[in-house]
């Protein structure tokens, strides 16, 4: 099969959008030219793994000497040796470098089902000139997110139901045309942004009999205008996080929205899952950042008539869109708040004698409303893990210094190495204020027994958030499977949720016959006035299990039950997708589900956006 | 599954139990002083944050729970918060323990001496100890021993000390505080004191419950209390008190700990120290107030042999697995957890069911000594031949008793009793050595064994008939208390046997209806898990079938030719209770004309029963037991046949529904067919 329109760097697309720009010009706002992000072509899988996380050139591996290294050139850690990782890995999981479980190296295109095409739809699509493909690779690449069970199946070369074709609209108008055609020919549309979903949201419902079309927004990746008077930018929703930031940076701005997946996730994806960024303390979460959203639905386009910062016009229609997870339509354009790039950034870290003290400190910081751009608290297990990821020390002096630090903390200060935990901090703003802010936070930390532990530890902590997803692939090469999940929880229950969920994971693994003790760890990643966001990681060595994915699913299910029983939420920012659908009713009540359902019934009566997420 | 963990298995014969180890043996061979001063390094809770007894008090007084209630009380009463705070502080002062190792060592030393004089052996299942140790490391632990004697909690601490386990903190009744020095000693060995009743005192409840929860949550020490609330004077398990169980389960239900381990402990005494004391108390002689000097007077008990004690540490029961699928823990999500709330209905039901399951687990691991079987046989024999034998001194031939005991031993084993019968010794020897230990209750003369009822001239002289009756009743009730130790083994089959006789039809549904009626009637008397009528019925059928007593034919339950002996034995077990309840019913009908206050009930019904006994219209003097009378009244109240009328400033009076009580009496007596209760389909 061939792609109908030649590939290439998308050309700036003015089309009828020009009118809008023109209006803006008239009203005297400075309007820049369109910004493009050159990075994603139609064929993402040429630079990205088809069965793992991230770029193809970046991966962890154990070299011939048995030392771990991270390949590629993209990250700070790239090309470095991580001498401690092997021991940690073998010690924590009971894994061994001798026992490998390698992935199928290449996608076997014959394993991909032949596409079910709606010929009339295809014909009309050709006539409107939107590029599309039914290549097996393109379809398989867009048939999954990054849940463990999805990646595990891919590694084994198993491909389930995937979209029957992929379309690449170039602008809002294209989307309107595609949606109209889909309605006309009763085709199922699944919007696809960055593909980083961890809620089974991109999985094609196996019961879907219609032709499924993946609507890839990657070509809609331009910044249409920047409005410096109001500090807003109007952006196409397909833009990927890192491109958005880079392009804005060129003009001296940023959105400050930095979810851990920002290298790959898209603006439209953020909007439709209610994403949260690391620096939300300064910039806010996605719902605080959007000023205007445009979405194409089977009933037409939904948008507000103005860019007023707040409105009292009944329930905010943005909130039907935010978190709709692709069930109502395609988000095509978003006006976002922007900020000048901060003058000064400073990392930091604090060591606490135990997790309880750490949480108490974060609570106090939240109470005084002086949280830095980011403040995260890792538990002891993650602290150990972080240590295992320290790159080879280049000089004797540094290693001597490290030894001295360790001595000071454990011996002189009496911290128990098996209990202490670390908070990582990121401050932003003008230099003077940052330093002042830093002092305030360290003073609070000191009241809870916290010791400042340097910038390096902090910076490494944040760097790790980008490489940790690559580590899962390394684990999977050696019989270790891992997953993370998150929740939000009121302050008074943070410790209880952390303790109980971690213990539940351990207990469930044991009960389900996992032969080795699992890694069960958590961190507090966001603070709010009334609570916090908690992230859990769990991983185990699955040697000896006949159906590891099923075991893993049972454990994850039990962990979620435990979260809910302890007063945690169903999700803080990952969304519901299909993975957590079963708990929606208990989460938002019968009436709540009915409300959402009636919106769906009105907006999309034929279930064109049939990914069956959420409800 | 949770219920399997505590409830009986389908076939009780398959029950596996641990072996015992005598801990006194080593004490008899090595220095007690060295033992008392030994290095004591128990395994602690893995998440323990070490704190002292006074840190605990501070934690309680600073807790949001207590603060909330202080503010509430101060608002309601108008008292200054500081005053209320001070009151809270003094409540805690009165309550708190001061656990220290010194006094424990002292007790360890003294108890060594005492135990060695009193008891032949103190046997403990060491596997249970190992399980307990594991649990203490993993989770907060609650120890739930059975309560038959004052000895119980000293014994528990003694054993835990011996095995190097964390010493428990023990909820004790305030009455111990009367014993000045001893009270303080007990405090220092981990006892904390709670008022017996504090009805609506919010502040007291808040301080008390927070104190217990804090000790549990922090893993300070295992928390020990008695599910039965008080010592059972009858050796039957008492229906559980739920207050403390509610408190210790709450931290789990509210997510404050991952799990709580409940460890039922069964303490069986071959001979109970308080034996005749209890009997007197049940007959209406009030229990002596606990005092240190009183304890010294009790020294004469030191000169006697009290046989052996068996302490069985049961399988720890995880509250988490008990609650699985039963309690929606999410119900605590919407209200701050420090605000006191009445437990929801499902939590109440859950705690109640759990309490019964735990009590059954306790019962199942109670060790039965041969004497338990002998006293059952002797009592039945006494009642059957009462009229003929009265003047001849009665009793049983030694051989007859041995034969009966061997027969009963087999039955017991079939029913899954935890019987300690030395199989390598000839039965006759077992019988005579058992009798020897209970010389106060039985005598052997001319090869006949009879109860020490004091017939004849030596004691009878100068006593009124009523006095003689009461002194006989002391012996009967003492014997009955030993028989009662086996009741949990027989109660279900006995209910079935009685139902088979009373149903007037062999049809399974009719038998079940009668069974269910009786079961319901006796729900205050025996430990019968609420809502488990069908399981109990099936268990009873299974046991009687297995032992060849009944046959199931189509929809009929038929007694076999060989089954009559068992049926007779089983019905005789239940008969005193059946008659007792009828007598209480009759009394209430006759007394219904006058206004009877609750306090008058026991003395009045006792007088009534004495009259019946003296006139020979009632055989069972054990009906004089106030325990039975109170249970019967409670059952009637539960069934709605008697109501308590509460009026301002006046004692509560009992309002009797004569028609209903009458019909219950007739149904118990088999004169009326069982009314089909609604929810009792098989």
**A499 chain-B contacts, CB cut-off 8 A:** 47, 257-258
Judged by CB atoms within 8 Å, which residues 29-48 of B form the interface with A? 47
- Tell me, yes or no, if B255 comes closer than 8 A to chain A by beta carbon: yes
Asked if B336 and B410 sit in the same domain, the reply is: no
Confidence check: pLDDT of B283 > 70: yes
Distance CA B447, CA B399 (A): 8
Mean pLDDT across the stretch B136-160? 94
Residue A201's SS3 state is coil
Confidence check: pLDDT of B296 > 60: no
Query: A492 and B336: CB-CB below 8 Å?
Result: yes
Most confident of A2-16, B447-461, B514-528: B514-528
Pick the closest to residue B447 from B481, B396, B393, B507 (CA basis): B396
Asked if B352 and B290 sit in the same domain, the reply is: yes
| Structure confidence at residue A26 (pLDDT) | 32
Query: A566 and B329: CB-CB below 8 Å?
Result: yes
Query: B258 and A503: CB-CB below 8 Å?
Result: yes
Distance CA B562, CA B549 (A): 7
* Beta bridge partner(s), residue B510: none
- Tell me, yes or no, if A503 comes closer than 8 A to chain B by beta carbon: yes
Q: What angle do CA A548, A551, A556 make, to 5 degrees?
A: 125
Kindly state the helix (H) or strand (E) to which residue B602 belongs, with its residue range: helix B598-614
Asked if B139 and B206 sit in the same domain, the reply is: yes
Q: How many CB atoms lie within 10 A of CB B175?
A: 16
Structural domain that includes position B417: 368-451
Please give the structure tokens belonging to residue B384. Answer: 């059957």
| Structure confidence at residue A401 (pLDDT) | 66
Most confident of A185-199, B13-27, B150-164, B504-518: A185-199
Confidence check: pLDDT of A484 > 90: yes
8 Å CB contact between A373 and A437? no
Mean pLDDT across the stretch A388-412? 73
More confident: B187 or B285: B187
Which of B317, B342, B364 finishes a domain?
B364
Q: Looking at the complex, report in whole angstroms how far the Cα of residue A95 sits from the nearest Cα belonging to chain B.
A: 26
| Structure confidence at residue B646 (pLDDT) | 81
8 Å CB contact between A259 and A265? yes
Q: What is the pTM of this model?
A: 0.90
Most confident of A303-307, B115-119, B384-388, B390-394: A303-307
Residues 6+ apart with CB under 8 A from B462: none
Confidence check: pLDDT of B457 > 80: no
Task: Give the confidence band of A39 by pLDDT, cuts at 50, 70, 90.
Answer: very low
Confidence check: pLDDT of B235 > 50: yes
Please give the structure tokens belonging to residue B457. Answer: 């001239």
B510 in a domain, yes or no?
no
Kindly state the helix (H) or strand (E) to which residue A392 belongs, with its residue range: none
B387 in a domain, yes or no?
yes
Confidence check: pLDDT of B332 > 80: yes
Query: A567 and B256: CB-CB below 8 Å?
Result: no
**B329 chain-A contacts, CB cut-off 8 A:** 565-566
Asked if B317 and B238 sit in the same domain, the reply is: yes
Of B255, B330, B336, nearest to A500 by CB-CB distance is B255
> Which residue in B has a C-alpha nearest to residue A503's C-alpha?
B258
Distance CA B78, CA B139 (A): 42
Phi and psi based region of residue B656 (left: phi greater than 0; alpha: psi -120 to 50; beta: remaining): beta
Asked if B260 and B389 sit in the same domain, the reply is: no
What is the overall mean pLDDT for chain B? 88
**B219 chain-A contacts, CB cut-off 8 A:** none
| Structure confidence at residue B218 (pLDDT) | 93
Query: pLDDT by residue (tens digit) across A41-75?
Result: 566 777 899 999 999 999 999 999 889 999 999 88
Asked if B294 and B415 sit in the same domain, the reply is: no
Query: A567 and B258: CB-CB below 8 Å?
Result: no
Task: Give the confidence band of B277 by pLDDT, cuts at 50, 70, 90.
Answer: confident
For an interface test with A, the pick among B254, B258, B327 (most A C-beta atoms closer than 10 Å) comes out as B258
Query: A500 and B332: CB-CB below 8 Å?
Result: no
| Structure confidence at residue B455 (pLDDT) | 57
Confidence check: pLDDT of A29 > 70: no
Of B257, B328, B333, nearest to A567 by CB-CB distance is B333
8 Å CB contact between A233 and A226? yes
Query: Residue B592: how many CA atoms within 13 Å on its side-chain side?
Result: 17
Asked if B292 and B418 sit in the same domain, the reply is: no
- Tell me, yes or no, if B336 comes closer than 8 A to chain A by beta carbon: yes
- Percent with pLDDT over 90 in chain B: 65
Asked if B233 and B373 sit in the same domain, the reply is: no
Mean pLDDT across the stretch A11-21? 35
Domain count, chain B: 3
Q: Looking at the complex, report in whole angstroms how far the Cα of residue A615 sits from the nearest Cα belonging to chain B.
A: 21
Kindly state the helix (H) or strand (E) to which residue A319 belongs, with its residue range: helix A318-321
Task: Give the confidence band of B647 by pLDDT, cuts at 50, 70, 90.
Answer: confident
| Structure confidence at residue B11 (pLDDT) | 61
| Structure confidence at residue A32 (pLDDT) | 38
Pick the closest to residue A328 from A293, A291, A298 (CA basis): A298
For an interface test with B, the pick among A492, A511, A561, A566 (most B C-beta atoms closer than 10 Å) comes out as A566
Residues 6+ apart with CB under 8 A from B286: none
Mean pLDDT across the stretch B184-213? 90
> Which residue in A has a C-alpha nearest to residue B320's C-alpha?
A504
Which residues of A are annotated as part of the binding site for substrate?
Answer: 472
Task: Give the confidence band of A7 by pLDDT, cuts at 50, 70, 90.
Answer: very low
Confidence check: pLDDT of A16 > 80: no
Query: pLDDT by residue (tens digit) across A527-578?
Result: 999 999 999 999 999 999 999 999 999 999 999 999 999 999 999 999 999 9
Asked if B344 and B443 sit in the same domain, the reply is: no
Task: Give the confidence band of B681 by pLDDT, cuts at 50, 70, 90.
Answer: low
Pick the closest to residue A145 from A477, A574, A474 (CA basis): A574
Which of B324, B342, B364 finishes a domain?
B364
- Tell me, yes or no, if B387 comes closer than 8 A to chain A by beta carbon: no
Query: A493 and B255: CB-CB below 8 Å?
Result: yes
Where b means 16+ CB within 10 Å and e means fewer, B221-233 reads bbbbbbbbbebbb
Query: B333 and A500: CB-CB below 8 Å?
Result: no
What is the overall mean pLDDT for chain A? 90
Asked if B185 and B288 sit in the same domain, the reply is: yes
Place of tokens 């980008």: A466
Confidence check: pLDDT of B602 > 60: yes
B457 in a domain, yes or no?
no
Asked if B338 and B258 sit in the same domain, the reply is: yes
- Tell me, yes or no, if B200 comes closer than 8 A to chain A by beta carbon: no
More confident: A272 or B7: A272
Asked if B580 and B656 sit in the same domain, the reply is: yes
Query: B255 and A497: CB-CB below 8 Å?
Result: yes
Query: pLDDT by residue (tens digit) across B652-674?
Result: 888 899 999 999 999 888 777 76
Query: pLDDT by residue (tens digit) across B97-131?
Result: 998 888 889 989 999 999 999 999 999 999 999 99
B653 in a domain, yes or no?
yes
Q: Known catalytic residue: A535?
A: yes
Query: From the candidates A535, A537, A542, A552, which is the catalytic residue?
Result: A535
Mean pLDDT across the stretch A153-176? 95
| Structure confidence at residue B674 (pLDDT) | 66
- Percent with pLDDT over 70 in chain A: 91
- Tell me, yes or no, if A343 comes closer than 8 A to chain B by beta carbon: no
| Structure confidence at residue A428 (pLDDT) | 95
Task: Give the confidence band of B7 by pLDDT, cuts at 50, 70, 90.
Answer: very low
B557 in a domain, yes or no?
no
Prediction ipTM score: 0.87
What are the two backbone dihedrals, phi and then psi, of residue A593, each rounded to the nearest 5 degrees? Answer: -60, -40
Query: pLDDT by residue (tens digit) across B175-193?
Result: 766 677 888 888 998 999 9
Distance CA B331, CA B347 (A): 10
| Structure confidence at residue B23 (pLDDT) | 92
As a whole number of Å, the end-to-end CA separation of chain A is 35
Query: A499 and B330: CB-CB below 8 Å?
Result: no
Which of B364, B384, B404 finishes a domain?
B364
**β strands within A210-368, DSSP E:** 212-216, 223-227, 232-236, 253-254, 290-297, 300-302, 330-337, 339-340, 344-352
| Structure confidence at residue A28 (pLDDT) | 33
B186 in a domain, yes or no?
yes
Q: How many helices (H) and strands (E) does chain B have?
A: 29, 19
B535 in a domain, yes or no?
no
Residues 6+ apart with CB under 8 A from B354: B245, B249, B262, B317, B319, B322
Which residues of A are annotated as part of the binding site for FAD?
Answer: 191-197, 273-276, 325-331
**B333 chain-A contacts, CB cut-off 8 A:** 567
| Structure confidence at residue B197 (pLDDT) | 77
B291 in a domain, yes or no?
yes
Tell me the torsion sign for CA atoms A176, A178, A182, A187: negative
Angle between helices B508-521 and B564-591 (to 10 degrees): 50
- Tell me, yes or no, if B329 comes closer than 8 A to chain A by beta carbon: yes
- Tell me, yes or no, if A492 comes closer than 8 A to chain B by beta carbon: yes
Please give the structure tokens belonging to residue A431. Answer: 């230099």
Judged by CB atoms within 8 Å, which residues 256-295 of B form the interface with A? 256-259
Place of tokens 């790039």: A341
């Amino acid at each position: 099969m061939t792609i109908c329109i030649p590939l290439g760097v998308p050309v700036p697309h003015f089309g009828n959008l020009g009118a809008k720009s023109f209006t803006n010009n008239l009203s005297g706002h400075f309007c820049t030219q369109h910004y493009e992000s050159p990075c994603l072509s139609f064929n993402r899988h040429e630079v990205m793994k088809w069965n793992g996380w991230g770029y193809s050139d970046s991966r962890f591996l154990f070299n011939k000497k048995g030392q771990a290294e991270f390949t590629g050139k993209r990250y700070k850690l790239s090309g470095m040796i991580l001498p401690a990782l092997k021991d940690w890995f073998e010690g924590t999981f009971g894994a061994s470098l001798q026992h490998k479980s390698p992935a199928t190296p290449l996608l076997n295109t014959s394993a991909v089902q032949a596409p079910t095409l709606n010929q009339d739809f295809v014909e009309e699509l050709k006539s409107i000139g939107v590029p599309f493909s039914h290549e097996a690779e393109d379809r398989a690449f867009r048939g999954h997110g990054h849940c463990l069970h999805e990646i595990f199946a891919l590694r084994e070369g198993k491909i389930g139901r995937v979209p029957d074709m992929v379309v690449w609209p170039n602008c809002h108008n294209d989307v309107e045309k595609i949606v109209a055609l889909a309605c006309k020919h009763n085709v199922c549309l699944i919007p696809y942004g960055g593909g980083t979903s961890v809620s089974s949201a991109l999985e094609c419902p196996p019961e879907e009999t219609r032709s499924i079309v993946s609507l890839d927004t990657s070509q809609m990746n331009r910044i249409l205008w920047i409005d410096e008077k109001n500090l807003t930018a109007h952006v196409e929703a397909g833009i990927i996080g890192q491109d958005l930031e880079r392009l804005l940076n060129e003009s001296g701005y940023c959105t400050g929205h930095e979810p851990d997946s920002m290298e790959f996730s898209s603006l439209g994806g953020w909007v439709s899952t209610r994403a949260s960024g690391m620096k939300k303390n300064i910039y806010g979460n996605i719902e605080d950042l959007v000023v205007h959203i445009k979405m194409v639905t089977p009933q037409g386009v939904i948008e507000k008539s103005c860019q007023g910062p707040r409105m009292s016009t009944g329930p905010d229609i943005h909130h039907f869109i935010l978190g709709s997870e692709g069930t109502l339509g395609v988000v095509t354009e978003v006006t976002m708040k922007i900020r000048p790039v901060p003058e000064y950034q400073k990392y930091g870290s604090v060591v606490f004698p135990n997790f309880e003290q750490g949480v108490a400190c974060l609570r106090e910081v939240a109470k005084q409303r002086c949280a830095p751009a980011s403040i995260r608290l890792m538990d002891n297990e993650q602290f150990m893990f972080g240590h295992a990821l320290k790159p080879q020390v280049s000089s004797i002096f540094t290693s001597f210094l490290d030894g001295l630090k360790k001595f000071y903390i454990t011996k002189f200060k009496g911290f128990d190495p098996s209990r202490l935990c670390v908070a990582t901090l990121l401050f932003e703003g003008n230099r003077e204020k940052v330093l002042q802010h830093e002092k305030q936070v360290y003073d609070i930390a000191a009241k809870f027994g916290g010791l400042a532990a340097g910038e390096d530890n902090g910076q490494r902590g944040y760097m790790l958030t980008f490489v940790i997803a690559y580590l899962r692939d390394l684990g999977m090469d050696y019989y270790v499977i891992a997953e993370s999940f998150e929740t939000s929880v009121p302050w008074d229950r943070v410790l209880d949720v952390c303790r109980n969920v971690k213990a539940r994971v351990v207990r469930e693994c044991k009960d389900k016959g996992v032969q080795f003790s699992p890694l069960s760890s958590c961190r507090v990643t966001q603070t709010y006035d009334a609570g916090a966001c908690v992230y859990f990681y769990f991983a185990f060595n699955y040697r000896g299990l006949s159906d590891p994915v099923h075991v893993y699913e049972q454990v994850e299910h039990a962990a979620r039950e435990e979260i809910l029983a302890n007063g945690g939420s169903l999700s803080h920012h990952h969304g519901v997708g299909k993975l957590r659908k079963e708990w929606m009713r208990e989460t938002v009540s019968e009436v709540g589900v009915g409300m959402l359902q009636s919106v769906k019934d009105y907006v999309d009566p034929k279930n064109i956006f049939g990914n069956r997420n959420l409800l | 599954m949770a219920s399997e963990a505590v409830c009986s298995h389908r076939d009780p014969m398959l029950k596996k139990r641990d072996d015992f180890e005598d801990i006194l043996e080593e004490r008899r061979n090595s220095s007690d002083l060295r033992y008392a001063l030994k290095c004591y390094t128990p395994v602690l809770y893995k998440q323990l944050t070490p704190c002292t007894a006074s840190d605990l008090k501070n934690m309680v007084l600073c807790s949001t729970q207590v603060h909330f209630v202080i503010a509430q009380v101060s608002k309601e009463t108008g008292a200054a918060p500081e005053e209320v705070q001070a009151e809270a502080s003094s409540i805690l002062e009165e309550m708190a323990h001061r656990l220290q190792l010194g006094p424990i060592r002292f007790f360890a030393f003294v108890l060594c001496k005492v135990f060695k004089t009193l008891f032949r052996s103190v046997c403990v299942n060491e596997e249970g100890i190992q399980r307990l140790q594991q649990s203490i490391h993993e989770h907060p632990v609650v120890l739930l021993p059975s309560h038959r004697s004052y000895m119980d909690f000293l014994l528990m601490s003694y054993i835990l000390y011996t095995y190097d386990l964390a010493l428990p903190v023990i909820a004790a009744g305030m009455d111990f505080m009367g014993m000045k020095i001893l009270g303080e000693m007990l405090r220092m060995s981990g006892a904390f004191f709670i008022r017996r009743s504090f009805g609506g005192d919010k502040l007291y409840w808040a301080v008390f419950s927070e104190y217990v929860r804090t000790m549990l949550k922090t893993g300070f020490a295992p928390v020990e209390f008695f599910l039965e609330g008080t010592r059972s004077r009858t050796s039957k398990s008492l229906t559980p008190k739920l207050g403390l169980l509610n408190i210790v389960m709450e931290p789990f239900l509210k997510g404050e700990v991952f799990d709580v381990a409940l460890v039922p402990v069964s303490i069986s005494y071959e001979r109970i120290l308080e034996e005749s004391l209890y009997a007197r108390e049940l007959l209406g002689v009030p229990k002596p107030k606990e005092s240190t000097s009183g304890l010294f007077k009790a020294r004469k008990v030191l000169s006697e042999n009290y046989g052996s004690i068996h302490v069985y540490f049961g399988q720890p029961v995880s509250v988490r697995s008990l609650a699985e699928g039963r309690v929606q823990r999410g119900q605590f999500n919407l209200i701050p957890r420090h605000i006191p709330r009445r437990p929801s209905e499902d939590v109440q039901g859950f705690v109640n069911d759990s309490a019964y399951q735990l009590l059954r687990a306790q019962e199942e691991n109670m060790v039965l000594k041969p004497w338990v079987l002998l006293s059952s046989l002797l009592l039945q024999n006494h009642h059957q031949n009462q009229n003929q034998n009265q003047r001849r001194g009665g009793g049983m031939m030694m051989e007859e008793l041995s034969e009966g005991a061997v027969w009963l031993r087999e039955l017991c084993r079939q029913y899954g009793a935890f019987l300690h019968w030395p199989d390598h010794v000839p039965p006759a020897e077992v019988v005579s050595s058992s009798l020897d230990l209970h010389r106060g209750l039985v005598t052997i003369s001319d090869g006949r064994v009879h109860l020490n009822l004091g017939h004849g001239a030596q004691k009878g002289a100068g006593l009124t008939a009523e006095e003689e009756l009461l002194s006989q009743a002391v012996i009967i009730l003492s014997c009955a208390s030993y028989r009662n130790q086996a009741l949990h083994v027989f109660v279900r089959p006995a209910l079935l046997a009685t139902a088979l006789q009373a149903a007037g039809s062999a049809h399974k549904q009719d038998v079940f209806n009668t069974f269910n009626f009786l079961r319901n009637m006796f729900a205050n008397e025996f430990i019968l898990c609420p809502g488990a009528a069908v399981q109990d019925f099936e268990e009873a059928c299974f046991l009687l079938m297995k032992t060849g007593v009944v046959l199931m034919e189509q929809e009929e339950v038929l007694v076999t030719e060989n089954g009559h002996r068992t049926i007779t034995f089983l019905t005789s077990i239940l008969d005193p209770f059946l008659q007792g309840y009828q007598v209480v019913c009759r009394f209430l009908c006759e007394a219904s004309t006058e206004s009877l206050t609750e306090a008058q009930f026991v003395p009045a019904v006792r007088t009534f029963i004495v009259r019946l006994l003296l006139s020979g219209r009632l055989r069972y003097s054990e009906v004089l037991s106030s325990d039975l009378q109170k249970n019967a009244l409670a059952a009637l109240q539960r069934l709605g046949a008697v109501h308590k009328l509460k009026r301002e400033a006046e004692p509560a009076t009992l309002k009797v529904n004569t028609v209903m009580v009458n019909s219950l009496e007739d149904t118990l007596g088999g004169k009326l067919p069982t009314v089909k209760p609604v929810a009792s389909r098989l």
